[in-house]
Amino acid sequence: MIDVLSYVCIGVGIVFWFWGTLPLLGKRSVLFKLHSLSVADTLGSMSIIFGLLLKIPSEWSLLVLALISLAIWNTVLGYVLAYCSSSGDDNGR
């Protein structure tokens, strides 16, 4: 039962990965791509790690640390990239 649930989580995560990454190939603006990438990529990665957590509960401390750092760092990285790329466009602060 738990095994099936973990596979479902990993599968959902991979679907999220493709969903977030495929817009990268289009000719859209950087901010649009950044939005889809940061939301779907972070959710997908967290879902995959949660699936791994269900599979091997003995490594829970490591995987929970990965979950937390993924949630915090990717959010901050999204903000930093958006700030840098948008102010780099018009050559001014």
Partner 1 sequence: MNLVLIIMILALLIPIYEAWQDDDIWQKMLAFASIATKTSVMILVVSVLRDDWMIGVVGVIILSVGNAGLMLLAHIIKRMGEL
**Dihedral angle, C-alpha 58, 60, 66, 67, nearest 10 °:** 140
For the bound state, the minimum distance from the C-beta of residue 24 to partner 1, rounded and expressed in Å, comes to 5
Residue 43 interacts with partner 1 (CB under 8 A)? Answer: no
Residue 35 interacts with partner 1 (CB under 8 A)? Answer: no
For the bound state, the minimum distance from the C-beta of residue 1 to partner 1, rounded and expressed in Å, comes to 18
Contact positions vs partner 1 (CB under 8 A): 10, 14, 17-18, 20-22, 24-25, 30, 33-34, 37, 41-42, 45, 48-49, 52, 55-56, 59, 62-63, 65-66, 69-70, 73-74, 76-77, 80-81, 84-85, 87-88, 91-93
